[in-house]
């Protein structure tokens, strides 16, 4: 049979601060409330000393506290008490497991959209450090090895591996941000991106075909599909995707050193629709977004949608080119 410490206390109504302090101390030491009447801890000399000290504090404040050391009557009683401890640990481990799942979900969403940056890695590392600390805190009072702990440890190890991968990815992305590519090295290539294209992928494909690779072919993949001998864009781990505060369209402009001034207003429109961070304030943005969304409702095939979208960006490019040319002529006249 197991040996237990039983702790019973009765604190005066006019000492609420003492009541809170005692509750916190009992929780910190891992004592559980059994049968809604008595706090229980497995017997150890350390636990006995801690609870004796707590008894003295309570009595010194004018309230009552008693400490008993006893053995359970039978195996069934032991099982019942151990289950009470494990139920408490289960709730604490479950909360930390949920935090792990939340970090992983956010990371996967970031991988699939904007990509991983140093700032993102730093943020996830801070959250993982907090998760590890909470796990260590819960484990200190897990006297009977609650089964959820093994699952939690596995999740933490998986997150640590992912964090190492994200760190490598963010370093690679930082290197890419300062590299300038030559269009002649990308002639007649197959370019791949995610299915269900919207503004950034649509505009980026237009930019690729018009300024980088006039013979570009485009392939659209689901999350788990792969495509060999293709250049990915606006996808996780791609060289040409979101970088820092830039959407993929802006990344491509910088990566290939495109200097055409008519691309800037288009980039601002694409950025605003895609990221919605209120960085720019172009009155055309809302109208262009309505047109693109209407086009998506009308056309479900990505290839056909892309061709229609390219016509829209051709028109925008012609408009801004003419508009800027007119301003220059007016300024020199």
Residue ending a domain, choose from 173, 202, 231:
173
| 172, pLDDT greater than 80 | no
Q: Where in the sequence is the domain holding 61, given as residue range(s)?
A: 3-71
Domain-embedded: residue 297: yes
Do 159 and 281 belong to one domain? no
The pLDDT, as a whole number, for residue 165 is 78
| 327, pLDDT greater than 70 | no
Domain-embedded: residue 262: yes
**The pair of three-digit structure tokens given for residue 80, joined into one six-digit string:** 């019942």
> Cα separation of 148 and 59, whole Å?
38
The pLDDT, as a whole number, for residue 273 is 94
Do 94 and 40 belong to one domain? no
Domain-embedded: residue 212: yes
Do 287 and 317 belong to one domain? yes
Domain-embedded: residue 246: yes
Residue ending a domain, choose from 153, 173, 193:
173
**The pair of three-digit structure tokens given for residue 251, joined into one six-digit string:** 């990344």
> Cα separation of 179 and 121, whole Å?
22
Do 207 and 262 belong to one domain? yes
pLDDT band at 179 (very low <50, low <70, confident <90, very high): low
Asked whether the beta carbons of 241 and 271 are under 8 A apart, the reply is no
What average pLDDT does the segment 169-189 reach?
68
Q: Residues 8-32: pLDDT tens digits?
A: 999 888 888 998 999 999 999 999 9
For residues 288 and 243, the model is more confident at: 288
> Cα separation of 113 and 123, whole Å?
17
- The residues near 289 (Cβ < 8 Å, ≥ 6 apart) are 199, 273
Do 284 and 266 belong to one domain? yes
Residue ending a domain, choose from 136, 154, 173:
173
The pLDDT, as a whole number, for residue 176 is 47
| 333, pLDDT greater than 60 | no
> Cα separation of 48 and 65, whole Å?
14
Q: Residues 290-309: pLDDT tens digits?
A: 999 999 999 999 999 999 99
> Cα separation of 198 and 240, whole Å?
16
pLDDT band at 125 (very low <50, low <70, confident <90, very high): confident
Domain-embedded: residue 178: no
> Cα separation of 285 and 238, whole Å?
27
Domain-embedded: residue 303: yes
> Cα separation of 44 and 212, whole Å?
73
Do 328 and 187 belong to one domain? yes
Distance of CA 33 to CAs 6, 30, 81, 144, 259, Å? 10, 10, 10, 16, 71
Do 12 and 84 belong to one domain? no
Do 105 and 244 belong to one domain? no
| 56, pLDDT greater than 60 | yes
The pLDDT, as a whole number, for residue 175 is 47
For residues 314 and 128, the model is more confident at: 314
Q: Give the rounded percent of residues in the chain with a pLDDT score beyond 90.
A: 62
- Structurally, the chain folds into a number of domains equal to 3
Q: Residues 25-55: pLDDT tens digits?
A: 999 999 999 887 799 999 999 999 999 999 9
| 177, pLDDT greater than 70 | no
Domain-embedded: residue 278: yes
The pLDDT, as a whole number, for residue 2 is 85
What average pLDDT does the segment 165-190 reach?
70
Do 254 and 220 belong to one domain? yes
> Cα separation of 17 and 11, whole Å?
10
The pLDDT, as a whole number, for residue 105 is 86
Q: Residues 211-266: pLDDT tens digits?
A: 999 999 999 998 778 788 899 999 876 888 888 788 999 999 999 999 999 999 99
Do 141 and 12 belong to one domain? no
Do 43 and 168 belong to one domain? no
Q: Residues 85-123: pLDDT tens digits?
A: 999 999 999 999 999 999 888 887 776 666 666 667 778
The pLDDT, as a whole number, for residue 114 is 60
CATH of the domain at 67: 3.30.70.240
Do 328 and 246 belong to one domain? yes
Task: Please give the mean pLDDT across all residues of the chain.
Answer: 88
- The residues near 103 (Cβ < 8 Å, ≥ 6 apart) are 124, 127, 128, 131, 159
Question: What is the model's pTM?
Answer: 0.51
Domain-embedded: residue 119: yes
> Cα separation of 200 and 248, whole Å?
6
């Amino acid at each position: 049979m197991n040996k237990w410490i039983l702790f019973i206390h009765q604190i005066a109504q006019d000492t609420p601060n003492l009541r809170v302090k005692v509750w916190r101390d009992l929780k910190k030491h891992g004592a559980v409330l059994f049968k809604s009447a008595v706090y229980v801890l497995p017997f150890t000399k350390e636990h006995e000393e801690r609870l004796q000290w707590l008894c003295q504090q309570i009595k010194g404040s004018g309230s009552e506290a008693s400490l008993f050391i006893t053995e359970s009557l039978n195996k069934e009683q032991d099982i019942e008490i151990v289950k009470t401890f494990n139920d408490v640990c289960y709730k604490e481990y479950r909360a930390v497991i949920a935090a792990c799942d939340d970090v992983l979900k956010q990371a996967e969403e970031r991988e699939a959209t904007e990509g991983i940056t140093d700032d993102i890695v730093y943020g996830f590392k801070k959250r993982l450090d907090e998760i590890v600390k909470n796990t260590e805190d819960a484990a200190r009072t897990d006297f009977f090895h609650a089964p959820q702990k093994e699952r939690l440890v596995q999740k933490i190890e998986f997150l640590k591996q992912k964090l190492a991968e994200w760190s490598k990815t963010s370093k690679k992305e930082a290197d890419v941000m300062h590299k300038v590519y030559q269009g002649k090295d990308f002639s007649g290539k197959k370019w791949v991106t995610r299915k269900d294209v919207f503004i950034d992928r649509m505009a980026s494909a237009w930019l690729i075909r018009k300024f980088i690779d006039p013979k570009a072919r485009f392939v659209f993949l689901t999350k788990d599909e792969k495509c060999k001998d293709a250049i990915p864009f606006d996808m996780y781990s791609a060289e040409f995707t979101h970088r820092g505060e830039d959407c993929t369209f802006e990344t491509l402009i910088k990566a290939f050193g495109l200097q055409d001034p008519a691309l800037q207003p288009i980039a601002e429109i694409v950025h605003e629709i895609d990221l919605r961070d209120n960085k720019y304030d172009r009155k055309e943005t809302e109208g262009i977004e309505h047109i693109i969304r209407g086009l998506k409702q009308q056309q479900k095939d990505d290839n056909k949608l892309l061709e229609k979208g390219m016509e829209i960006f051709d028109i925008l490019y012609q408009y801004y080119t003419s508009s800027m040319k007119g301003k220059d002529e007016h300024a020199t006249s």
